[in-house]
Amino acid sequence: MLFDFNEAWPRVSEARYDVCVCGSGPAGITAARKLASYGKRVLLLEGGELTYSDRSQDCYKGKSIGKPFWWIETGRLRYFGGTSNHWAGLCAIFDPVSYETYDHHGLPGWPISYEQVVQNQAEAQEILDVPGKYLGRAEQSGFKSPWFGQFTYAKSPPTRFSMKYGDELRRSQQIDTFYNANVIDIKLVDDLSGVKSIRVQNYNGQKIDVSASQYVIAFGGLENPRILLNANSQIPEGIGNQTEMVGRCFMESLNVPVGRFLITDPDFWRQEGVLLVPTEDMVHQKDIGTGVMDFTPDATAQALRHAGRLGVLKDFLRDTGCYWPALRDLARKITDFTCPGDGIIATMIEQEPNLKSRVSLMDEVDAFGLRRIQFDWQFTERDFKTIRTLAIESAKEMARLNRARVQLAPEILDPHLEITRVAGHGHHMGTTRMSADPRHGVVDENCRVHGIRNLYVIGCSTFPKCGGRNPTLTVVLLALRLGHHLGRKS
Partner 1 sequence: MNESWYRSGSVVSRRRFCGSVAGFAVGVICPMRSIDAATTTSADSEFVIINGWVLTRADFAGEGVDN
- Which residues are at the interface with partner 1 (CB under 8 A)? 259, 262-264, 266, 269, 297, 322-323, 325, 328, 339-342, 392, 395-396, 398-400, 402, 405-410, 413-414
In the bound state with partner 1, the residue whose beta carbon lies nearer, of 68 and 340, is 340
Q: Closest approach of Cβ 294 to partner 1, in Å? A: 17
Residue 114 CB contacts under 8 Å (≥ 6 apart), including other chains: 94, 96, 98, 99
In the bound state with partner 1, the residue whose beta carbon lies nearer, of 157 and 340, is 340
Q: Closest approach of Cβ 400 to partner 1, in Å? A: 6
Q: Closest approach of Cβ 390 to partner 1, in Å? A: 13
- Report the Cα 60 to chain-centroid distance in Å: 16
Q: Closest approach of Cβ 323 to partner 1, in Å? A: 8
Q: Closest approach of Cβ 269 to partner 1, in Å? A: 7
- Residue 336 main-chain phi, psi, to 5 deg: -80, 145
In the bound state with partner 1, the residue whose beta carbon lies nearer, of 131 and 340, is 340
In the bound state with partner 1, the residue whose beta carbon lies nearer, of 395 and 434, is 395
In the bound state with partner 1, the residue whose beta carbon lies nearer, of 194 and 341, is 341
In the bound state with partner 1, the residue whose beta carbon lies nearer, of 398 and 434, is 398
CA–CA gap between residue 176 and residue 309 (Å, rounded): 45
Q: Closest approach of Cβ 403 to partner 1, in Å? A: 12
In the bound state with partner 1, the residue whose beta carbon lies nearer, of 137 and 328, is 328
Q: Closest approach of Cβ 148 to partner 1, in Å? A: 14
Q: Closest approach of Cβ 355 to partner 1, in Å? A: 34
Cβ pair 222, 177 in contact under 8 A: no
